[in-house]
Amino acid sequence: MNTRYNPAGGRTAVLCGLGTWLPPGVVTNDDLAQQLNTSDEWIRVRTGIRQRHIADPSMATSDLAVEAAARALQSAGTSSVDAVILATTTPDHTCPATAPLVASRLGLAAAAAFDVAAVCTGFLYALAAATGLISAGLAHSALVIGAETYSAILDPEDRSTRAIFGDGAGAVVLRAGAAGEDGALGPFDLGSDGSSADLIMVPSGGSRQPFSPRAPQTSDPYFRMQGTAVFRAAAEAMASSARTVLDQTGWPDSQPDLLVAHQANLRIVNAVADRLRLPRERCAVNIDRVGNTAGASIPLALAHAVDAGQLRPGTRVLLTAFGGGLTWGSCALRWPRITPG
């Protein structure tokens, strides 16, 4: 059973700031073709990706998160929040969580801070968690960050993953407000299916299979994904979750003005739009420029949609994502009047 939340009235979370950051290093498809058995055409036809941003090896996920978060705080016109939630699959360390370090570097050392691990659905799960804290009165404001350095966990010889994933970070600031305001988050729909956890996985490094340098042949520290099965599952789960949310919005024709789906693959984004009977031109698309940035995907796509003129105050926006776990989720909002950082 999916978890659903519909703020019919009263206190809820309102989006009031947006910030993003991409590392300056860019790797094009032609660059990859010089290293792997692939080509620009092979990658573009299968994924829609032309290039991706890759962090310098000296940079960690916290570095990207701090850059995006600082811009989000500036966008919101504030220097403090009550909670910091970081969605990431690539934390600085297995222990401790990365969010407290990010909060400290931002001068938010007293704020509650924790990580969310839901892979590519992580940002939506983090949005829901922050909305819960604000709705319950446990926080008046929150900073939600999606940040990834997937380049650190990709097999250098695996063209199927290196062609897809990129690094980046995006963040939003939420404040307490009323459900009817522009920027108010909800309805939400969240779900999972752990029986298919092996479709998206880093096999080694956890308690199930600790990495052993003495027996590297039995350890696999790299991100693995069963692409064909994931494609089918992602398109169906995102479309179903999105429809659940749309049915609760009360919008005319239960349709959004803009679909901001997790940028996993252009064909997946198009498949979700087709299942929702939504014109493809109503989809935010930036995967061609940044690749799949996992937990950072949705805030980065939001910022690009603002730059492209697709998001204006009052625009009806549907967010939806799918990731490892398996996990999925969706959320609706009307876009507020903000200037991204």
Catalytic residue positions, numbered: 120, 262, 292
Give me the residue label for tokens 């990731």: 323
Q: Which of 28, 164, 148, 169 is nearest to 88 (CA)?
A: 148
Other CB atoms within 10 A of residue 150 CB: 27
Residue 15, helix vs strand vs coil: strand
Q: Strand pairing of 83-87 and 141-148?
A: parallel
Tell me the sheet residues that pair with 26.
53
* DSSP of 91-126: -S-SSS-SHHHHHHHTT-TTSEEEEE--GGGHHHHH
What stretches of 56-203 show up as alpha helix (H) in DSSP? 61-76, 99-105, 122-135, 159-162
Mapping DSSP to helix (H, G, I), strand (E, B) and coil, where does residue 310 land? coil
Instruction: Provide φ and ψ at 52, rounded to 5°.
Output: -150, 155
Rg (CA), the chain: 19
Structure tokens at 240: 């179903």
Contacts of 237 (CB under 8 A, 6+ apart): 191, 322, 326, 328
In angstroms, the first-to-last Cα distance of the chain is: 37
